[in-house]
């Protein structure tokens, strides 16, 4: 069954483009019905238009509070009857209004091996900590930042002499591979969550380059 997706972005939209490209090539059985950005000038909105998806900028500064802003986002997503929400470089914390509209149906990609290095500047956090391995994670979104059940991870080495820029680029390559695979896995069958938020049932999870299941 073809999934209907809504994608939230804030900037350049490289992960959005990876998903749209995977859909176009037949790698992912889904369609992006609408792309919403909290930044009306986000370059990713042009990418959405190039692939035929509706692109909408909704500026939170035009609303009195986060709840009203998110209600406007939910209204636009519901107008397209989306089934899953993908946060692809969405640089805002998600609040209760948006989460309650799509409970356990929202995924995010983060540039670290969660639970390590949550929040902003994850690549710098990894370098400052002196770890030898970093990577990216796709997880279910909850009210706690970067804390939901993990659906897939891919690791990358941290090399001698790495900078934030070089490590970020190496991780981004894997983000572009991982996110489409996780989206495709939502179809076969979708993950089921227990009341405690743990993944139940035979969810199809991606593997890292060593072939291990990365729950």
**Do 150 and 137 form a contact (C-beta atoms < 8 A)?**
yes
**Tens place of pLDDT for every residue, the chain, 215 residues?**
899 999 999 999 999 999 999 999 999 999 999 999 999 999 999 999 999 999 999 999 999 999 999 999 999 999 999 999 999 999 999 999 999 999 999 999 999 999 999 999 999 999 999 999 999 999 999 999 999 999 999 999 999 999 999 999 999 999 999 999 999 999 765 455 554 445 454 343 444 543 333 33
Under CATH, which number does the domain 1-103 receive? Answer: 3.40.50.170
Q: Which two tokens stand for residue 163?
A: 């900078």
Domain residues of the chain, as ranges? Answer: 1-103
Q: Which pTM value belongs to this model?
A: 0.88
Q: Which two tokens stand for residue 117?
A: 């290095």
Of 84, 136, 76, nearest to 107 by C-alpha is 84
What pLDDT does residue 169 have?
97
Quick one: residue 188, left, alpha or beta (phi over 0 = left, psi -120 to 50 = alpha)?
beta
CA distance 188 to 175: 21
What pLDDT does residue 1 have?
84
Q: Which two tokens stand for residue 34?
A: 């609408």
Active-site residue identified among 80, 100, 110, 176: 110
**Alpha carbon distances (Å) from 143 to 33, 41, 92, 193, 198:** 25, 27, 12, 15, 15
Buried b (16+ CB within 10 A) or exposed e, 62-93: eeeebeebbebbbeebeebebbbbbbbbbebe
Active site residue 100: no
């Amino acid at each position: 069954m073809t999934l209907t997706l809504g994608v939230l972005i804030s900037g350049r939209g490289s992960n959005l483009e990876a998903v749209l490209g995977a859909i176009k090539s037949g790698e992912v059985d889904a369609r992006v019905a609408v792309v919403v950005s909290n930044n009306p000038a986000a370059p990713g909105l042009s990418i959405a238009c190039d692939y035929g998806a509706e692109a909408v900028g909704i500026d939170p500064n035009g609303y009195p509070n986060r709840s009203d802003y998110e209600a406007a986002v939910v209204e636009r997503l519901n107008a397209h009857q989306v089934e899953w929400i993908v946060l692809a470089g969405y640089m805002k914390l998600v609040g209760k209004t948006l989460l309650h509209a799509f409970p356990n149906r929202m995924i995010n990609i983060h540039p670290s091996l969660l639970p390590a290095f949550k929040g902003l500047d994850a690549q710098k956090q990894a370098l400052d900590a002196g770890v030898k391995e970093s990577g990216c994670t796709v997880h279910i979104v909850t009210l706690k930042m970067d804390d939901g059940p993990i659906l897939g991870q891919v690791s990358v080495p941290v090399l001698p002499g790495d900078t934030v820029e070089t490590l970020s680029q190496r991780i981004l390559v894997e983000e572009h591979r991982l996110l489409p695979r996780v989206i495709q896995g939502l179809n076969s069958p979708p993950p089921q969550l227990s009341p405690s938020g743990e993944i139940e049932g035979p969810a199809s999870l991606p593997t890292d380059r060593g072939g291990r299941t990365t729950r």
